Structure 1
Amino acid sequence: MRRILLICFLWLFWTLPVQAESAHYQVEITAPPPLKDLLQKHLDMVKWRDNPRMNPAEWQRLFSQAPQNIKDLIATEGYFAAKISPTFENQNGVYVAKFVVEAGAPVLVGDVSLKFTGDIATQAADAKPSIEKLHEVWLLKKGEPFRQEDWNQAKRKLLTEFLVERYPNASISSSKAEVNLETQTVALSIEINSGSAIRFGDTTIVGLKRYKPGVVENLNPIKAGRIYNQSDLLTFQTRLQESGYFQSVEVTADTLNSSNSAEPNIAPIKVTVIENRSIKMGIGAGYSTNTGPRLQLSVDDLNLFNMGWRLSSNLKLEQDAQVLTSEIHLPTTKAGYRDSLNGNVSHTLVEGLDSTVTQVGVKRAWGDRKREQYVNANLLTESTKVDGAGNESTYAATLGYGIILRHTDNDLNPTRGYLLNVQFTGAPTTSTANGSFLQSHVKTQAYYPITSSTQLIARAEIGLVNGKNSAPELYLFRAGGDQSVRGYAYQSLGVTEGDATVGGRYIATGSVEVVQWLTSQWGAAVFVDAGNAANTLQDLSPVYGYGVGARWKSPLGPIGADIAYGEATGEYRFHFNIGVAF
């Protein structure tokens, strides 16, 4: 029993935390700032000095190993001839280890040898990746300082050029960095075996239950026999994820077993999907500084009539606007066309204009997100009541064309690039409308990083309507509000009629905004907005709004809260917006 108790006591003594001895352990490093930071973060003596089990004997052992530890660490920064001067002191029970580091000059990259074997050595001159291009993208050029991290990154970057296109099974056969202390240079050599060129094979789909294979196949940009390209797989997966049919999507190509398949160097594609629920319902509440409090109900049927048609219905009840919309999206065709049918009923009461609009229409869209085009046809009826003036009812059958260009570095939180939306809508004949008209409307937004933390955002909008007396109010222009001229009420800028503000034939607005990002997520903004809407170019006199705001990069896109001063009214207004309005 005593032996058992003794064993238990010793076990508890060994496993329970031990209080640090009264002695303290300190490390003092004298070195150039970048190297000092490196050593204070990674030197063993620094990492272990606060360990509760540290004792003088262990401290002495670490001290004896420290000079080599230091040399190994700073060698990763390119310093191979460093001199280390260590001293050890016991200052009244405080053990102090001091190191003076004379780093010397860093080595520079000398000769660079890139060697490529495999199919790339005999591929066609215009095939990618080309050997000439691979030499151009090599990161560590002759004469540049050598760092271990840069060396590793250069090798990864070079190998990635193979993996993303044509040669997904490429590998580094050998790599060597030889240091010459006499010349203070390092000779680099790397050999990459590209392996065989791989082509895509047939596509297998796993996980479909309700939908026909065409729902997936018609979104596939990859033809069997095409040279392997990783971006094609990502494009395919993105299209499927954005289609709305699937909860999760995985698109892979079996490149590793391609040499063992019945067709050598052919990588079959496998698509694994999990379908979304067929019926989805949602309810939400919110607030808009344009149209007030909001209650929203939505119902989606992702397999209408068991044909893969997607029905999306939405009821939005706001203080100044009530809208019921319904859209039916058909599966994408083999030619890449996205067809849809739509209908909506809306009622708005803004700035003394009471408007009720009913629309039904069809639309065909094509192209990717960077360059999307569409044509549509709509039948519209509209009833308007103007405070202090009369009532009017109009109807129009319209045809439209639009193009949207999106060239930004990030879809949700862009920092560089531009967005452009151009659309034309008109009633071509008087037999199907109160009168013929043509609306031309252009909106653009540009992003430019002035510095790494300062961003410039510019926005512009112009539009005109030919045939004002014939165009329904829906196709005329008003300005003011969150995404227009801040400092003014929503759609309060336009043509005065009776006691109301109605739409005009012309619109021109613009904005210049500078955002200073204080952290990676939060920023402050200053801006100037200008613009107006009118019936004639002579009356199109801009009004100005100035303000400041806060910005947050949310997962849904940028969120902004602004306080703006309307120069023409002398009033301050609060504006709130979320996301990129394109």
Structure 2
Amino acid sequence: MNQTGHAAENRYSVDIDAPSSVDDLLEKHMDIMRWLNSPRMNTAEWHRLLQAAPRNIEDLLATEGYFSPTIEQSLETSTEGNTTRNRAKFTVQTGDPVTVQEIDIRFTGDITNQASGEKPEPAQLIENWSLKQDMRFSQDRWSSAKRGLLSGLVLQRYPNAKITNSKAEIDAASNKVKLMVEIDSGAPFRFGGLEVNGLQRYPRSLVENINPIKPGETYSQARLLFFQSELQASGYFNNVEVTSHTDNTDPEAAPIVVNVTEMQSVQVGIGVGASTNTGARTTLTYQDLNLFNRGWRFTNTLKIEQKAQSLNSLIRLPTDKNGYRDSFNADLNRLDIEGQTTSTLGTGVKRSWGPRSFEQTIGAAYLLEHVAIDGSESQNNYAATISYGITLRRIDNELNPTRGYLFNALFTSAPLDVMANGKFLQSYAKTQAYYPLTRKTQFITRLEGGIVSGADNAPATYLFRAGGDQSVRGYAYQSLGVADGDAVIGGRYLVTGSIEVIQWLTESWGAAAFVDFGNAANNTRDLKPVYGYGLGARFKSPAGPIGVDIARGQETGEYRLHFNLGVTF
């Protein structure tokens, strides 16, 4: 490597001949390299830096575990006209790196009297020590190992833990180092009461009921972060910070401190867009986050699309003290797809509970439906239903998952003839799995299925069709189902799936190849899958993955554009 600088009629340059493992370190951090282009560089400063350079190199190499380097220095001076050129060269041999010979980790404080089986366990902390015996020593690794050891205490039970003594004894002759760390755990802490700051519009109970931490619970940073994420996800706050006071406080009752910045309670929005499923879209939204001054969330949404129109009203109550999340809805919808026009009026109630990793719901709903099929008589249906659903989320990242799986199952029943056209049970399940084949190659698979058992005249809303962005790409939205003249209507059976491989070309952009399959039918004999396959582009956005695909339907021979945003679970 070579760097050149100049001042007045003197020009200065430095060559460093060193192994590639330390070349960048020396180029960036040697004092003489940083001064080359300084206007203050002169002959006196040049010679001062040259004299200090060998020691400077030794200090930098020591941070990477090299304590016996060989350094050769040479200097050339030449004159061309009015310009004097000064060139220095450093040839560096690092020698053998220092490796860890012994590790001595000592604990003091209350952790030495901790009951057996309580976490964090000193033996486990020592086991997790990252700078193992015979590993190459470096200052970064040494510092990282100490931070990791301290974090093991600070994040759980002992928030005031501190390193009281540490040293690395280096034997340059044998290239070995002995490490010693002494850490004082301090007192174990438990959580106490709740302090809430920043509430003006919403009731304090809104925060209290979301709080998963009970007084007397062992201190855990992970629990504070979980509480913070739940508050942020509630939709009431622009900003949330959850901490605990552990200085000059009772270790048996460390207060939990919540600082929030509230969102405006009334919000009005308008949006335009397009879907490759239902066409151009205009959306109007009115939202009141504090209905009746009780923290009830009232959302009214008018959506007008080319193939679908809807007016939806939803009231969501804050999480109660038992962790239940209740909601009420009323919907008016019209969908004109594949020769079938379905108009519905519905209302319902739902209760959800559990964390996002294992969420459960029960609900009750009433539906009035009018169905018009091209070339057939229109039909009116109605049904009072009850439902139960579960959703499992086991993924490494909610927005852009790379590993894990998602699973959703929903069972909806019309149990009484007197309150429906006929009794029926709709069973539906969907799963999606993510697996990294390599650091840059990702495998995604999806499978969904559904069955409607019972009455042959179940409302069309509860029957199944396939095709479109989130179903079988290469086919029009809900174009796969039961043929009825020139129309396609829903069937009692559904199976769809997908296999996809994404090759990430950069941290944010990738290319995808996929094969989709599936169909809907009224009996298993007719449930013959059709296939779609294609290529696409992927982008990791802050709102989740964005996908644009070109897919060919093998059955039709047609190519279709598909657009996807986010993870639909």
Bin of the TM-score, shorter chain as denominator length? over 0.9
Equivalent position amino acid for 2:104 in 1: S
> Pick from 344, 347, 352: which aligns with 2:339?
352
Q: Is the 8 A contact 2:168 2:177 kept in 1?
A: yes
Contact persistence 1:468–1:505 (CA under 8 A): no
Indicate the residue corresponding to 1:12 in structure 2: none
Q: Which whole-Å CA distance do the structure 2 matches of 1:49 and 1:468 have between them?
A: 86
Aligned to 2:33: 46
Alignment of 1:390-409 (within 5 A): 390-409=377-396
Distance 1:182 1:50 in 2: 38
Q: Residue 225 of structure 2 is aligned with which of 217, 234, 249? A: 234
Task: Indicate the residue corresponding to 1:224 in structure 2.
Answer: 215
Say whether 1:127 aligns with 2:118: yes
What residue number does 2:104 align with? 113
CA distance in 1, matches of 2:514, 2:46: 60
Deviations 1:405-448 (A, max 9, x none): 11111111111111111111111121211011111111111111
Map Cα deviations across residues 523-542 of structure 1 (whole Å, 9 max, x no partner): 11111111111111111111
Percent identity over the alignment is 55
Q: 1:442 aligns with which of 426, 429, 432?
A: 429
Residue range with higher mean Cα deviation, 151-160 or 210-219 = 210-219
Q: Paired residue for 1:550, among 528, 537, 542?
A: 537
Change (3 A) 1:431 1:21: same
How many angstroms apart in 1 are the aligned matches of 2:325 and 2:453?
30
Structure 1 residue 37: deviation in Å?
1.9
Matched residues in 2 for 1:453 and 1:211: separation?
45
CA–CA distance in 2 between the matches of 1:65 and 1:482? Answer: 66
Contact 1:389 1:499 (8 Å CA) reproduced:
no
Q: What does residue range 463-502 of structure 1 map to in structure 2 within 5 Å?
A: 463-467=450-454, 469-502=456-489
Matches within 5 A, 1:184-199: 184-199=175-190
Given the two structures, how large is their TM-score scaled by the length of structure 2? 0.96
Contact preservation (8 Å) 2:403, 2:433 = yes
Match of 1:10 in 2: none
Structure 1 residue identity aligned to 2:262: E
What's 1:137 paired with?
128
> In structure 2, which of residues 541, 555, 559 is the aligned counterpart of residue 572 of structure 1?
559
The 8 Å contact of residues 187 and 251 in structure 2, kept in 1 or not, is answered as: no
Contact 1:159 1:172 in 2 (8 A): yes
* Structure 1 CA distance for aligned equivalents of residues 565 and 8 of structure 2: 57
- Corresponding pairs, count: 561
Q: Deviations over 1:456-504 (max 9, x none)?
A: 1111111111125132111111111111111111111111111111111
- What corresponds to 2:68 in structure 1? 81
Structure 1 ranges of 4+ moved more than 6 A: none
Q: 1:500 to 1:51 in 2, by over 3 A?
A: same
Match of 1:147 among 134, 138, 142: 138
Is 1:512 aligned to residue 499 of structure 2? yes
Question: Secondary structure of the residue that 1:448 maps to in structure 2?
Answer: strand
Residue identity in the other structure for 2:486:
D
Instruction: Please list every run of 5 or more consecutive structure 2 residues that lacks an aligned counterpart in the other structure.
Output: none
- State how far apart, in whole Å, the 2-side matches of 1:223 and 1:116 are: 29
Partner letter of residue 252 of structure 1? T
Work out the CA distance in 1 between the residues paired with 2:196 and 2:16.
61
Q: Write the distance in 1 (CA, Å) between the matches of 2:46 and 2:514.
A: 60
Rate the CA distance shift 1:329–1:106 in 2: closer, same or farther, 3 A.
Answer: same
Structure 1 equivalent of residue 276 of structure 2: 289
Report the aligned-residue RMSD. Answer: 1.5
Q: Which runs of 5+ in 1 are unaligned?
A: 1-17
CA shift, 1:19, in A, is: 7.9
> Which of 504, 519, 524 is 1:532 aligned to?
519
2:502 partner SS:
strand
2:91 maps to 100
Deviation at 1:46, TM superposition (A): 1.9
Asked whether the 8 Å contact 2:106–2:182 carries over to 1, the reply is yes
- Mapping of residues 3-82 of structure 1, within 5 Å: 20-82=7-69
Deviation at 1:22, TM superposition (A): 4.1
SS in 2 for 1:538: helix
Question: Residue type matched to 1:304 in 2?
Answer: L
Is 2:295 aligned against 1:301?
A: no
SS of the residue corresponding to residue 80 of structure 1 reads coil
Q: Say yes or no: does 1:423 pair with 2:402.
A: no
> 1:21 Cα deviation (Å)?
3.1
Q: 1:210 aligns with which of 201, 213, 237?
A: 201
